[in-house]
Structure formats: C-alpha cells, structure tokens
Amino acid sequence: MVDITYAPVEASNFWARTKAALAAIGNRIVEARMREAQRQVAYQLLAFDDATLKDLGFDRAELQRMDPAPGAH
C-alpha cells in the first residue's frame, strides 16, 4: 500500500492569497475596460472638426495617439 502525504494548507493563508489574486484580476479587467472606453470616446471625438475639438479642449493629434477604436459604436 502507498502512503500519500501532503502538507496541510492554512485556511487563512489560502483565502488571503485567493482574495489577492481575485482582486488583481478584477483590477486588470477594470483597467482594460477603461482603456477601451477611452479609445471609443477618442474615436467618436475624431468625427468633430478641429475648431470644435479645440473648443472642447482636445487636440486631434492627441486623440489619434490614443489609438482610437475603429468601428466603435
């Protein structure tokens, strides 16, 4: 017969690591969504003429550097 040994994992340590991992994943999702929203806004703003963009406080070159999302709705 084979004896199986294992090291018990402390429950509090396990849950702390799990909570930290889930928080990191959640933060990455939020950051990615914010970048996507910024690209979509930049794409929509590029439809305005330069005078309107200037009045709104934007620069066309700055918006184009944001890598606007083509075909964003």
Assigned domain for 31 exists: yes
Question: How far, rounded to the nearest angstrom, does the alpha carbon of residue 26 sit from its chain's CA centroid?
Answer: 9
Query: Can you tell me whether residue 70 is helix, strand or coil?
Result: coil
Section 37-53 average pLDDT: 94
Domain limits at 21?
Answer: 11-65
Q: Is residue 43 part of a domain?
A: yes
Structural domain count, the chain: 1
In a domain, residue 48? The reply is yes
Do 53 and 45 meet the contact criterion of CB atoms below 8 Å apart?
A: yes
Local structure of residue 47 (DSSP, 8 states): T
**Phi-psi region at 70: left, alpha or beta (left = phi > 0; alpha = psi -120 to 50):** beta
49 belongs to a structural domain: yes
Compute the average pLDDT of residues 15-34.
95
- Look at the pTM and tell me if it is higher than 0.85: no
Q: What's residue 46's pLDDT?
A: 94
How many residues are recorded in the chain?
73
